[in-house]
Amino acid sequence: MVVSFVGMKPQEVGVKSNLKIILESDNQMLDEVMVVAYGTAKKSSFTGSASTISNEKLELRPITNLTKGLEGQATGLLTTSGSGQPGEAASIVIRGYGSINASQDPLYVVDGIPFDGSLSSINPSDIESMTVLKDASAGALYGARGANGVVMITTKQGKEGKAQVAWRSTVGWASRAIQPYDMVDQKDFVQLTYEALRNGYAFNSGYSWEQAQQMARSGLSANLGGELYNPFKNYTWDNLINPETGMVQADAASAWDERWMDAVQRDNAFRQEHQLSVNGGSDKTKYMFSLGYLNEDGILINTGFQRYNARVNVNSNVTDWFKANVNASLSNSVQDYSDYDGSSTSNVWYSAQFVSPLFPVYIKGLDGKNVLGEDGKPQLDYGEKGRPGSYTDYNPVGGLTDDKSNRKNDVASLRTGVTFGSDKDNFGVFKGIKLNVNFGLDYRNQSRMSYMNMYHGNQATAGGLLTKYNTRMQSYTFNQLLSWNRSFGLHSFDVLAGHEFYAYSYEYLEAGKTNLVDGILELRPGTTLYAADSYTDNYRIESWLGRFNYNYDEKYYFSASLRTDGSSRFQKDNRWGTFWSIGGNWRISREAFMEDVKWVDNLSLKLSYGQQGNDNILHSNGTSNYYLWQSLYDLGWPNSNQIGGMVSSLENKEVSWEKNGNLNVGVEATLFGSRLTVNAEYYNRKTVDMLLNYPMATSTGFNGYNANVGDMRNTGFEFELRGTPIRTDDFTWNISLMGSTVKNKVLKLTNTAPEIIKGVYSIKEGMPINTFYMAKSAGVDPATGAQLYWVYDKDENGNIINERISDDYSKASTSKYYLGNRIPDLYGSIGTDFSYKGIDLAILTTYSIGGKIYDSLYTGSMNAQYATNTWNKHQLRRWQKPGDITDVPRVEINGSYTTTDRFLINASYFAIKNITLGYSLPKDWMRKAKLGNVRVFGSIDNLALFSHLQGMDPQYNFKGETDYTYAPNKTYSFGVEINF
């Protein structure tokens, strides 16, 4: 008698009474099937490099944008933390940095069609899996848009059987995930300000030490806001500093301590999400339908994100030879946000974080107590009675309340297709021949409003400013794919040929008016036109593609693909680019000499190489340039009522595709009855003919023109270990370890300019992209407290000579060194999960080792430019008197410095990204309640970050910068899942 079961090895046994039969797992049958370009593939037979992320992993985290669920789930994938503004995405690069001026973003593909809608419109709970395609063999069939990797998103489909109804609800509370910078208190702030004034008089103006002390004491009032902003009411500014000790009076008592950042942040921002899904069907037609609602408050007051979404997926086998499917989704979202960035006073991530701690949120009387309004409540202090510096007529709470900005998005996506053909034997010679015709449409209409109030701020004198924007994006993809899939004995063939057309259109409209009517956020009542603008972008790609896969005895696999793309971005004679890949996979475990090695379930060696293209060069503001080769005119220069314009770009008919060659070598092993999985890969990715702005002398009237110049290489290793140390009937323990490396080198730039310098960054031949280029600190002069630098001269050949230490900041500004970059030496994740009966626990951590960050926010808090800026507590280590040995120079306000590596911070970090604990109620209870399953759970997301500087976000971007932006969130959430 032969006993068999799906996923188990058949076993022949003799027939007798009281049989006990134990079947072994058939790992070949259970081989993971991945979604890949234009189809699916078994993981063991795949010749390229790909990582799969299941919906179980995504659902562990309370994310609004799916990009934030990718971190730590795949090797070779670097992510930023992403803005904490609800609804915002994280940035992603796959296997290094593919370009300098062109886009480095991967291509997102939803249900087989490239996706142009808003990623925040996709409900992560609707996703069945995501596959990250990392090399040319995996992604070359996407040609022009797959050069930086591909993220394949597959949404949930219906399953055969009676209707299954599921409900999932979560509620949570968010707070700031990264601790704020450690800033000084009020007393220390006054002490440092006094010393900065004293040092300025003594070292920069030539006064004696005694004179400088007296002048500094006298200058406190004017610099810090007069007695109105003196919180120490038992002293005046003139006598707050003890002349004997030079210190703030020990018994000085503050009447208030109102931190602006505390006033504008919420420590318990509420989040709720609810989802309903129904799926089922017959052997002929299967369906899935879902509804979702999300409402998330931001940790910054008056910010948030709200989304409604619906999705329906239907697949039907109409006949044996005809199939049809339709997937449609709709989403409506509203995002409230603060429309200020950088070091604008109205950007609270600048002003509220780094403003003087003396300034209260609410108006104070001379006694230090709140001045109440007619309603009996404290009044916001806008600084109209003499607050010094740039903070007049501004209050952070008032700014976030009175100014309003929002985005309203309506997003629709459609994926539909038909398939003619069958794999059944009764189709004879036509068996395995299929024609797939697919159509995908993405539509996004965005209405955006930005209002600056008429009472306070920089538009008060204009009577307020209201600007409205409307953008409309529509793209569609239409492809026709003819495939043949047949097996003859030990030989299997999979051949694909197809055509694809892609069209993209983007329309922009903007209008703004000043001198508004209070309470009416419409343009009609405004009297003065502030802005009016509109434009349209169009983009087209036509493609022909083919693929050939061969499999001999599930042992030797060969794949080849070819795609040619014609892009409207290039002139017609240079429009077409041809991209290709070849790959092989040797399944060693299938060889005869491995038959007796029982502990090896699968062992594969794979090799691939291919070339992909990139046409997506970017403008300086990060938007796509659709007109690379053309000479364009800027018509925004009217002269009175006469139309005026000027040439804004130069023509280059020769500009064409940026090309990306990608080599991948990998080993995959499954061992010990699938208890241990090991994946290791090496990649070598070379970009040639990079799309760059070729520099020109400014005297020509242009800075440069678009051209194909420059080469760059990324290499690295990736490894992944997944193990199950314990697996019993009741208890399972899984662990995972991922690690990746990337080495970057710029191989070639232009013949006339082998180096591009922007601020503190250098892009130079022979060095990694965005290498830090700045002066080198030599410590602090013990005698004067001055910052010391390493400086040098150069001989006639440009060689460094006479290297020495100096306090000459001007000389140091021309004595720069190459001082590392942001690229980590190793990055990855460590995860584990446990399940015991109905209890499950999952933990995900991520890490990054090596690299540097230039923290300009920290720099500003150590080198204050204004007396209204506060100081980091590290400033308390400053030099104070001759003979002091320290690493922090004497404190100054608007001192003369040049940027040094003193502010390059180690970028290494370790983060606890998620902990989720769940409990599934006993099945006996569920049967009595006539329910399928009920699970309750709780999770903590972004629990902790351990880095080298409190306040710094080491994942802000890939360049190694920081900025005054919305801090990432930590979220505590609780939820329930009910399957009916």
Cα(272)–Cα(631) distance, rounded to whole angstroms?
A: 51
**Residue among 822, 840, 843 at smallest CA distance from 832:** 843
Cα(449)–Cα(510) distance, rounded to whole angstroms?
A: 10
**CB-based contacts of 450, cutoff 8 Å, min separation 6:** 339, 404, 405, 465, 466, 467, 468, 469
**Residue among 686, 637, 645 at smallest CA distance from 663:** 686
pLDDT at residue 31 in the model: 65
- Quote the DSSP letter at residue 555: T
Cα(569)–Cα(499) distance, rounded to whole angstroms?
A: 20
Across 395-430, b (16+ Cβ under 10 Å) vs e yields bbbbbbebbbbbbebbbbbbbbbbbebbeeeeeeee
Give the pLDDT means over successive 10-residue stretches in the chain (980 positions): 53 57 50 81 86 88 89 93 91 92 92 91 92 89 86 93 93 95 97 96 93 95 92 94 94 94 94 96 94 96 96 95 96 95 90 94 91 93 87 92 96 96 90 95 97 93 96 97 94 96 97 96 96 95 96 95 95 94 95 92 95 90 90 86 88 92 95 95 95 83 87 96 94 96 95 88 96 97 96 92 95 96 97 94 97 96 94 96 95 94 97 96 85 92 96 95 94 94
- Quote the DSSP letter at residue 401: H
pLDDT at residue 6 in the model: 46
β pairing state of 743-748 and 404-421: unpaired
**CB-based contacts of 945, cutoff 8 Å, min separation 6:** 177, 178, 909, 910, 911, 912, 954
Contact of 247 with 240, CB cutoff 8 Å? no
- Quick one: tokens of 195? 């010393």
3-state secondary structure 412-437: EEEEEEEEEECCCHHHHHHCCEEEEE
Across 905-930, b (16+ Cβ under 10 Å) vs e yields bebbbebbbbbbebebeeeeebeeee
Half-sphere exposure of 776 (CA within 13 A, CB side): 13
- The angle that helices 209-224 and 186-199 make with each other, rounded to 10 degrees, is 130
> pTM here?
0.92
pLDDT at residue 664 in the model: 96
pLDDT at residue 23 in the model: 52
Cα(558)–Cα(550) distance, rounded to whole angstroms?
A: 5
Query: How far is C-alpha 151 from the geometric centre of its chain's CA atoms?
Result: 14
Cα(478)–Cα(113) distance, rounded to whole angstroms?
A: 9
pLDDT at residue 648 in the model: 86
- Where would I find the H helices in 45-182? 55-58, 136-139
Q: Where are the beta strands (DSSP E) in 819-968?
A: 826-836, 839-849, 852-854, 904-906, 909-920, 933-947
Cα(892)–Cα(863) distance, rounded to whole angstroms?
A: 7
Q: What angle do CA 282, 288, 289 make, to 5 degrees?
A: 135
Q: How far is CA 428 from CA 200, 322, 486, 596, in A?
A: 93, 16, 11, 40
